[in-house]
Each structure stands twice: as C-alpha cells, then as structure tokens.
Amino acid sequence: MRYPLEPEPEALRALTDEVARFVVEHVASLTDQPASDLEGVDSVRAGLVGPVSEMGSPLSVLLDELRPAIAKSFNTAGPGYLAFIPGGGVYAAALGDFIACAVNRYVGVRQAAPALVQIEETALRWLADLMGYPEAARGILTSGGSLSNLSAIVRARVARLPEGDLQRGILYVSAETHRCVAKAARLAGFPVRNVRVVDVDARFRMRPDALETEIRADHARGLHPFLVVPSVGTTNTGAIDPLPEILDVARRHGLWTHADAAYGGFFRLAEGGEALMPRLPECDSITLDPHKGLFLPYGTGCLLVRDGKALLRAHADHADYLQDVVGEEPGFNDLSPELSRDFRGLRLWLPIRLHGLRPFRDALTEKLALTRRAFEELRTDGRFEILDEPQLSILAFRLKGDGEATDARNAELLRRVNARGRVFLSSTRMAGRYVLRICVLSFRTHEDRLRDAIAALREEATALGA
Ligand SMILES: *Cc1c(COP(=O)(O)O)cnc(C)c1O
C-alpha cells in the first residue's frame, strides 16, 4: 500500500470519512463502555512493538490496531469516570484541532497570522472576563496546569525577586496544594527547602494566620518571601483557600498571589459560583485547566496574569532571525516560553462559539448539585465517614475505623466498586489514612451514574461486612 504524502482530494475525503466514522462510533458508545478496562492490555501493548516499515498500511488496518489500544484504558471521557480530576472531551474541540492541524498556520508570532492570533486572544479574553480580570490582563494557553504554574512562578520571581536571588526567595503552599507547584519551584531553580508548607484548618484550607507567622519568621531570618499559592479547589477534597485573608496578608508583605484554580476556577460559571471564590479577580495570576472545568481534551491549560505587562517582562526577548516579524503588539512568543506551537486557541474558541456559554454553566451547576446529593446519601449511611462537606465537586470519604485493617478494607472497597465497571473512583491518603474520592467533573456524568456509584459503595460495603 502506498499513500502519497499529498493524496488527491477524493482520497483525502475518503480518509477523513473513515476517521469520522471511527470516532463517532467510539463517542456514541461511551456510555456503554466500562469505566475502566485494563484486562489483557499487556498483549495489546506487545502487538504495538515493532520496527518501522518502508511501506505504508491501509488506514483501516491502523484503526483496527488503535481500537483495542483505546479500549484498554481508563475511560477518562466516559460518564462513569469519577477518579482523580476527570476531563471530558467536548467533541467540537476535536474538530477545532482537526482544522488547526490541517491548515497548519503559524501562530507563534503575531505577524504570521494576525487574525488567527486574534481568535486565540479573544478566547483568552473570554476566560479573563469570566474570572473578573481587568482589560490589562493577558494570558496564554499551555498544555496544562503544571506548566501554567511553572510559568506563574517564573513571572512572580521576575516581578518580586531581585535577579539571581533564588537562594533567598521563599514561596508558600499548603499541605493540600497540588504537588506540581513544588515541582515547578524546583524546576524554576528554587531549593526544595524554600517551599514552605503552611498549616491547613479543619476543612483543609490554608490558614492565613499561619501564613503570616511563617512570612514574619522568614523575614526575620533575612529571607525574601515573594509568592503565595492559594488553591481554588484542592485535589484531595476540593477545598478553596480563603482568598480574601490570604490576599490581605500577601499585600502587607509584598507577595505575589497566584491562585491555582486548575480544577476549581471554572465553577465561577456555575450558579452561585462567584461567591465560592471571593476576590479571585484580585489575585496577581490564575491557573485554569480548560481540560478539566470546561470539559475540553487534555492538553488545554491556561495562565492568566492580571497585569499583562508582567507577562511580557518575564518572557520578551529579541532574535535577529525573527526581524521580519517583529511588530508593535506582542505575540504569544513574547508572553510564553514557546515559539513554534500548535494553534490551540481554536480548540477553545470553536466549542464556546458553537455551543455558547450556557450549556457549560448548566453542566457545572449540575456537577455541584450531583456532588451535594452524593454527600447527603453517604452522610446518612452510618458506615461512612465524610472528610468534609464538599466545597466544590469532590467528595472524600472512607469506611469508619482506624488502623491498617480499616485502610485495607477501604482499599478492597475501592477495588470491588471499580471492578464492577460502571464507575471508576480513586483514592488518596490524608493524615496518614487511606481515603476514597468521588470527583464529578465530566459533562457526561449525570444523576443515574452517581446513583450507581452510591449503590455500588453501599452494596460492596455490606459484602465486606460493614
Ligand atoms: C490538575 C491540577 C494541576 C495540574 O494540572 P495538569 O493540567 O494536570 O498539569 C495543578 N493544580 C491543581 C489544583 C489541579 O487540579
């Protein structure tokens, strides 16, 4: 089989139709697919190892190879996926990616495609508006929250630390902050010891009084506190750190406040959502993950910076070989570590234009309501202990009891519930104890699936003698 690198239009259409059939069939069956299925994945993997071939293969053969590789995985796009932080995969985003890759225009510098850059900037402006940011705000789309947080740390460093003062620069997180923040600090050149872990309260929120005590102590040691990273939705329980008090402390001591809202930020779009994260618009920068709360495909993260000039200061540079494309207005290359990049803005712009915001708002409101109902259900079942009333769409719980035997029983409960294949939950450890989590964030998850999850937990708890 030989496909030329530039097939005739007729052949292009046939290839595209074949892929469209493959994808639509998959998406249409998502609800019936198991929530996770890794049985026999090793042999599927083994079949995918091999040397490169000089000859091409029919597309149908390749799609047949792909099908089991997709099937043998966590069904992260399905309605039963309640583990970790679910994504989604709104279909229109795939169409946006398809167009972006097929036309392959260059958006790394503004002058190469000013109107396409505008599309991405407009989409970023929408996100800034949704977070309550002023006109001067700027943003970039990243591959995810981890890289957004890395970029944020670099920006805060440029804004608040004298150049080269990495050894004395101190940043503040809590024990519930996502680990990627500490990792990013290390990657950005800060010693591990410079990341302070501030105490949390009974609801797993950073304590502003403890933050201030730590900052004062560090100042007294001659160190340079420069950044605090409150979470808007922690990974374990969905806790929202008290932004108003943290902002007050940060201002008193000249710190940059970066809100890690990767998981929780888009709940601002839900009914009553703004009240859940008061004064978010006053934070110096915000990490968002559209591949979480906007249900887009993985690889869609975002960093917003309140003062757009700070973004520019941290990243702008000059190269002689780019002299033909230097303009008045900065492009994405001036605002981010990247130069060449995909046109990822279309993945955001197309779904929002196609559907409008309303369905996104409604879906987020639904996720909050579903989580609340799951909470009510488990709370009235005396066998379960709930770690905290949900602040967003995560419910953390465990079978009551202490010690290793209870941990093991909870692990077995998770194994049994997941083995049923209808839902897929994950676990964590908090205060040294094994904890189960339900995170409701897929736009495909509705009440029926939540009821299945609760029923499975109850029945398997009974089977375990609880
Ligand atoms: C998911 C998440 C991250 C990491 O984002 P990635 O997109 O996985 O890189 C960071 N912080 C929080 C709060 C998250 O929920």
Q: For ligand 1, say whether the CB of 144 is within 6 Å of any of its atoms.
A: yes
Extract the tokens encoding 84. 């970790």
Burial label for 456, CB within 10 Å (0-12, 13-18, 19+), is buried
pLDDT of residue 1: 63
**Nearest atom within ligand 1 for CA of residue 144:** 7
Query: pLDDT of the chain along its 466 residues, tens only?
Result: 678 999 999 999 999 999 999 999 999 999 999 999 999 999 999 999 999 999 999 999 999 999 999 999 999 999 999 999 998 899 999 999 999 999 999 999 999 999 999 999 999 999 999 999 999 999 999 999 999 999 999 999 999 998 879 999 999 999 999 999 999 999 999 999 999 999 999 999 999 999 999 999 999 999 999 999 999 999 999 999 999 999 999 999 999 999 999 999 999 999 999 999 999 999 999 999 999 999 999 999 999 999 998 888 887 888 888 888 777 788 999 999 999 999 999 999 999 999 999 999 999 999 999 999 999 999 999 999 999 999 999 999 999 999 999 999 999 999 999 999 999 999 999 999 999 999 999 999 999 999 999 999 999 999 999 8
How is residue 194 annotated by DSSP?
A: G
DSSP string, 315-381: H----GGGGGG--SS--HHHHSS-SS---THHHHHHHHHHH-SHHHHHHHHHHHHHHHHHHHHHHTS
* Measured distance CA(36)–CA(424) in Å, rounded: 7
CA of 243 to the centre of ligand 1 (A): 19
Cβ pair 298, 141 in contact under 8 A: no
Which domains are delineated in the chain? 106-342 (3.40.640.10)
Extract the tokens encoding 396. 């953390």
Task: Of 302, 301, 311, 363, give the one whose Cα is nearest residue 335.
Answer: 311
Residue nearest to atom 3 of ligand 1 (CA): 145
Q: For ligand 1, say whether the CB of 260 is within 6 Å of any of its atoms.
A: yes
Q: β-pairing, 433-439 with 394-399?
A: antiparallel
Angle, nearest 10°, between helix axes 59-71 and 9-28? 20
Q: For ligand 1, say whether the CB of 180 is within 6 Å of any of its atoms.
A: yes
pLDDT of residue 102: 98
CA of 51 to the centre of ligand 1 (A): 36
Cβ pair 95, 450 in contact under 8 A: no
CA of 146 to the centre of ligand 1 (A): 6
Q: For ligand 1, say whether the CB of 443 is within 6 Å of any of its atoms.
A: no
Mapped onto helix, strand or coil, the DSSP state of residue 260 is: strand
Give me the half-sphere count of Cα atoms (radius 13 Å) on the Cβ side of residue 18: 13
Q: For ligand 1, say whether the CB of 36 is within 6 Å of any of its atoms.
A: no
Cβ pair 351, 296 in contact under 8 A: yes
Checking 369-377 for CB contacts under 8 A at 24+ apart, the result is 370/440, 370/445, 370/446, 370/447, 370/450, 371/395, 371/438, 371/440, 373/447, 373/450, 374/438, 374/440, 374/450, 374/453, 374/454, 377/454
Per-residue pLDDT of 313-359, as tens digits, reads: 887 888 888 888 777 788 999 999 999 999 999 999 999 999 999 99
Cβ pair 354, 124 in contact under 8 A: no
Q: What is the mean pLDDT of the chain?
A: 96
CA-only gyration radius of the chain, Å: 24
**Nearest atom within ligand 1 for CA of residue 234:** 13
CA of 327 to the centre of ligand 1 (A): 34
> In Å, how far are 195, 230, 277, 374, 409 from 368, measured between CA atoms?
32, 21, 14, 10, 29
Checking 375-382 for CB contacts under 8 A at 24+ apart, the result is 377/454, 378/454, 378/457, 381/458, 381/461
